[in-house]
């Protein structure tokens, strides 16, 4: 199994920057992709950014040009660099890891971090 530990959330002024970290442990070799999701009050959880094991990235339109997802394979850590933050970015951010494992059959399993609060004040 995989464990995810997030850090880096906090309170920041609009226009500021924040860097989130997600450290994976356990069977990290099974991870196929990782991503950052967020959920604001009254809204559905949405994918903010994702990165595959091959390094391909994708972002939701609202954060393109402002957020950057990256990874450090040696440390099994994924980062989300957030810049030009807006109050609309306020949410609980969760790290996600998608794994592919073979038990009796091959299955996909998603793991989630505990979440970290990001609050952007105006």
The predicted pLDDT at position 74 comes to 87
Confidence of residue 101 (pLDDT cuts 50, 70, 90): confident
Residues belonging to the chain: 122
pLDDT exceeds 90 at position 60: yes
Q: What gap in Å lies between CA 7 and CA 32, rounded to an integer?
A: 22
Which tokens is 92 given? 């609980």
Report residue 63: phi and psi, to 5°.
-115, -5
pLDDT tens column, 22-50 = 999 999 999 999 999 999 999 999 999 99
Match 């399993």 to its residue by tokens.
109
């Amino acid at each position: 199994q995989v464990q995810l530990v997030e850090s880096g959330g906090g309170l920041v002024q609009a226009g500021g920057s924040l860097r989130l970290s997600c450290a994976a442990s356990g069977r990290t070799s099974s991870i196929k992709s990782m991503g950052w999701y967020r959920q604001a009050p009254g809204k559905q959880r949405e994918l903010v950014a994702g990165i595959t094991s091959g390094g391909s990235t994708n972002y939701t339109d609202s954060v393109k040009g402002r957020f950057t997802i990256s990874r450090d394979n040696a440390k099994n850590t994924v980062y989300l660099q957030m810049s030009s933050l807006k109050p609309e970015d306020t949410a609980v951010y969760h790290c996600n890891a998608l794994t592919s494992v073979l038990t009796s059959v091959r299955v996909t399993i998603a793991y989630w971090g505990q979440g970290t609060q990001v609050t952007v004040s105006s």
